[in-house]
């Protein structure tokens, strides 16, 4: 294969790993902040959600959000692994 293609794929793999790192950090920070808000149960948080929402409903929606976000992280992880392995194969084939 051509060397420019290998360089582009290695760059894409590196960018995907960095994106995964940023997303994991973002998810960890937001999860810790959410745990703090749930523990303190400040009334302004319920007001932001609409006021009629109960804390159990908010926790349920947040649980689903973080679950879906983790599935998205798994997809990004799969792409990062695939790009890394593909770049190695191109390097060995050259």
pLDDT of residue 11: 93
Q: Under a CB-based contact definition with an 8 Å cutoff, are residues 34 and 55 in contact?
A: no
Average pLDDT for 65-74: 95
Q: Read off the pLDDT of residues 40-53 as tens digits, 9 standing for 90 and up.
A: 888 888 888 888 88
pLDDT in tens, 21-37: 999 999 999 999 999 98
């Amino acid at each position: 294969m051509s060397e420019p293609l290998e360089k582009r794929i290695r760059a894409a793999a590196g960018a995907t790993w960095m994106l995964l790192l940023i997303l994991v950090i973002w998810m960890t920070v937001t999860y810790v902040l959410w745990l703090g808000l749930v523990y303190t149960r400040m009334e302004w948080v319920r007001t932001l959600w609409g006021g009629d929402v109960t804390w159990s409903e908010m926790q349920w929606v947040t649980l689903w959000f973080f679950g879906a976000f983790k599935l998205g992280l798994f997809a990004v992880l799969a792409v990062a692994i695939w790009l890394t392995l593909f770049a190695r194969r191109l390097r060995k084939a050259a």
